[in-house]
Homo-oligomer: A and B are copies of this chain.
């Protein structure tokens, strides 16, 4: 028996697989059950049994929405309200004291289980490795969220087209246009598509040189505005992820050159998203394109500059999930992955450029770009 067989054997036969979390915040429990809740609940698998245990508050809705094959029970018929009571009841019913839990399982609960004589081991890698490989249905769910992101971007472009420039400041509807106003316009469009906006970035000028800066204050003309838009579907839980960078007015030479380098790097890297390709290789290929255009990465007294984040990440029930396209990604793509490709260049002197598309590598090895948003830098 080799290690792989042994692992499968442990997983399938001798251990109870246990999760605790909310449908909204724990991707694994949502993947297993399709139940979306604001509050935590408990889920376990043992042999062929799959069972979600919820409170009075959630039970009726959970029964309506649960994935076929998942049994839905009320906590009061399963040991009571406390998590330890429920887990003891599970252990008793299954006649098993061995549990496999995810790496992020809450320590205090595990310690209580161990003190009660249960064995608790963590899954070394992901709890549902199959989450990395998306079905056509899952790809359709990501695409639906991506369309909402694109509608949000189109709204931002409309606002910027209808804006005027006065003394280097952008004015919309006779008021200074701020990151906050532009973000609200994007997010409202997303809401009208039936999706949830979740922290849209509209970072102008040097704020754009910090990749996670959400942006605040008045937006300036002739300066790049990074818009990173990642809505989630409340119905399916799947995310979209889109980044575009535009300039209202005229871009400077360095911004134009950086934009073209990032666009070339993105398109080059997208073509490398194929079965058998390594995440690290794709990342490094994009970096090489940026360096070919003399955009280098490093650190000085103003902070970091260049291309200092991973090229991409998986998108599904989490906005950032496996696999990564980064220097540390040492496994090959297998087919089924949905990944972002989002090179960026960031310089504290003038700001940032990031351009992000999503690729779906189908289970049969076809490589499809799920993003339809256009690419352009300047808006008149």
Q: Which residues of B contact A120 (CB under 8 A)?
A: 107
Write out, one digit per residue, whether chain A residues 192-214 have a CB within 8 A of any chain B CB (1) or not (0): 10101111000000000011111
Q: Which residues of B contact A158 (CB under 8 A)?
A: none
Choice from B59, B60, B122, B196 contacting A111 with Cβ under 8 Å: B122
Quote the shortest CB–CB distance from A30 to chain B (angstroms). 14
Give the distance in Å from the alpha carbon of A308 to the alpha carbon of B108 in the complex. Answer: 28
Number of copies of this protein chain within its complex:
2
CB-CB under 8 A for A303 and B60, given A108-B103, A122-B111? yes
Quote the shortest CB–CB distance from A133 to chain B (angstroms). 23
- Tell which of A169-177, A183-191, A247-255, A365-373 binds the partner: A183-191
- Are A61 and B212 in contact, CB atoms less than 8 angstroms apart? yes
Choice from B58, B102, B199 contacting A196 with Cβ under 8 Å: B199
- Are A59 and B303 in contact, CB atoms less than 8 angstroms apart? yes
Q: Which residues of B contact A122 (CB under 8 A)?
A: 107-108, 111
Q: Which residues of B contact A108 (CB under 8 A)?
A: 102-105, 122
> Is A38 in the interface zone, CB < 8 Å from B?
yes
Closest to A123 in B: B108
Q: Which residues of B contact A211 (CB under 8 A)?
A: 57
Closest to A185 in B: B191
> Is A304 in the interface zone, CB < 8 Å from B?
yes
Give the distance in Å from the alpha carbon of A275 to the alpha carbon of B349 in the complex. Answer: 54
Give the distance in Å from the alpha carbon of A194 to the alpha carbon of B59 in the complex. Answer: 34
Chain A interface, number of residues (Cβ within 8 angstroms): 48
Choice from B60, B192, B319 contacting A210 with Cβ under 8 Å: B60
**A289-310 residues at the B interface, CB under 8 angstroms:** 303-304, 308-309
- Are B59 and A212 in contact, CB atoms less than 8 angstroms apart? no
Give the distance in Å from the alpha carbon of A60 to the alpha carbon of B196 in the complex. Answer: 28
> Is A168 in the interface zone, CB < 8 Å from B?
no
- Are B199 and A180 in contact, CB atoms less than 8 angstroms apart? no
Q: Which residues of B contact A88 (CB under 8 A)?
A: none
Q: Which residues of B contact A38 (CB under 8 A)?
A: 199, 212, 319-320
Q: Which residues of B contact A303 (CB under 8 A)?
A: 59-60
Give the distance in Å from the alpha carbon of A197 to the alpha carbon of B56 in the complex. Answer: 26
> Is A110 in the interface zone, CB < 8 Å from B?
yes
Give the distance in Å from the alpha carbon of A210 to the alpha carbon of B54 in the complex. Answer: 14
Q: Which residues of B contact A196 (CB under 8 A)?
A: 197-199
Give the distance in Å from the alpha carbon of A180 to the alpha carbon of B233 in the complex. Answer: 12
> Is A24 in the interface zone, CB < 8 Å from B?
yes
Quote the shortest CB–CB distance from A81 to chain B (angstroms). 8
Q: Which residues of B contact A59 (CB under 8 A)?
A: 303-304
**A35-71 residues at the B interface, CB under 8 angstroms:** 37-39, 56-61
- Are A304 and B184 in contact, CB atoms less than 8 angstroms apart? no
> Is A225 in the interface zone, CB < 8 Å from B?
no
Closest to A103 in B: B108
- Are B212 and A37 in contact, CB atoms less than 8 angstroms apart? yes
Closest to A178 in B: B194
- A-B contacts, 18 of them at CB < 8 A, read A37-B212, A38-B199, A38-B319, A38-B320, A56-B309, A57-B212, A61-B210, A61-B212, A104-B107, A105-B106, A105-B107, A107-B110, A184-B188, A187-B191, A196-B198, A196-B199, A199-B234, A214-B234
